Amino acid sequence: MSGLFRTFLRQAEQISGSATYDDALTVSGAETYLAKSLEKDLNYLRSQVKAIIGEDNWYDALDTTLSDAAIFSAAAQTFTGMDSASDNSPSYSSQEYITDGEDLEEAIGALDLQVKANEDGYTALTLDKVCDVGATTDQAIVSTGSGSSFASLLDTGNLDVWGDITVDGDILVEGTVDGVDVAGFASAAQTFTGMDSASDSTPSYTSQVYVTNSDSLETAIGKLDAAITLADVVKEIERLSAQVNSGSAHAVPGSHSHAAGDGSTMDVYLNGQLLQSNTGTELRDYLESASDQVKFTFDVPTNSYLTYLIRS
């Protein structure tokens, strides 16, 4: 008689399913469970599946598939400028005000603060106070209790201020001036970065002066950082040794040329007071008659101080 034996049990049809099932077992230690049975094995597998899919029951349909997660990961990388799914250190093309390694949130905050500081510094600029009483500089002004005398102005191109520059009581310059859960993460990341959906890989910016809609957040931040340094302002100051008559052409000192027009590329101050440029046919304080000269609509007296802020 051979070693084979016959059976009348048809396994595919006659082995029933689990009499009861449990998909809330503690999976830890399942491999050492003593009372082993097919039903117990299946219950451990059910519990493990439930934990993996994150649903209420092991047999529930999936809200998010692995394919969805892959699509979101690719879109998020392109949207933010990540080199790969494990890239956790942005590398910026310019580091004037930010540094490599700062995350996007930190970098945007630093740029926002710098833009505000630049704006405040420019709009509040006056000549109300150049130096404290008793202070002296080689380049510009000697101030005493009874008055001021003036030396050669800006011989070195720099203004040394011994003390604070203040505007209306506020200090403008101090000291001396001389040089996880996939679904949860997807929702949070979309809101945090401004993505329209999990597959949105192209940012759409409300302004495109320095950035374009195809730039990732990382690229856009680098462009903005570099653009801040391009907004240079050249400052020239002169003390008039003779009166400038109304309507006479007066050369801007320093051989600086600018786009003559309505004052959009140059501001002129008279003894700290901002003057208004002519616009069209309106007669105001002065006319930009050429790229390197102005004509005043009034006589400017001797010993007056004219300050020119020329933007590149």
Query: Are residues 278 and 287 in contact, defined by beta-carbon separation less than 8 angstroms?
Result: yes
Q: What is the pLDDT of residue 299?
A: 96
Q: The pTM is what? A: 0.36
CB 288 within 8 A of CB 294: yes
Please list, residue by residue across 168-188, b when 16 or more beta carbons sit within 10 angstroms of its beta carbon and e when fewer do: eeeebeeeeeeeeebeeebee
Q: What angle do CA 293, 155, 150 make, to 5 degrees?
A: 90
Of the given ranges (89-93, 287-291, 305-309), which has the lowest mean pLDDT? 89-93
What pLDDT, on a 0 to 100 scale, did the predictor assign at position 304?
95
213-262 pLDDT per residue, tens: 888 888 888 887 777 665 567 889 999 999 999 999 999 998 777 777 77
C-alpha–C-alpha distance, residues 201 and 78, integer Å: 5
What CA–CA distance (Å, rounded) separates 234 from 268? 12
pLDDT: which is higher, 201 or 130: 201
Digit-coded pLDDT (tens) for 35-47: 567 787 788 888 8
Alpha carbon distance 100, 92 (integer Å): 6
What pLDDT is stored for residue 14 in this prediction? 57
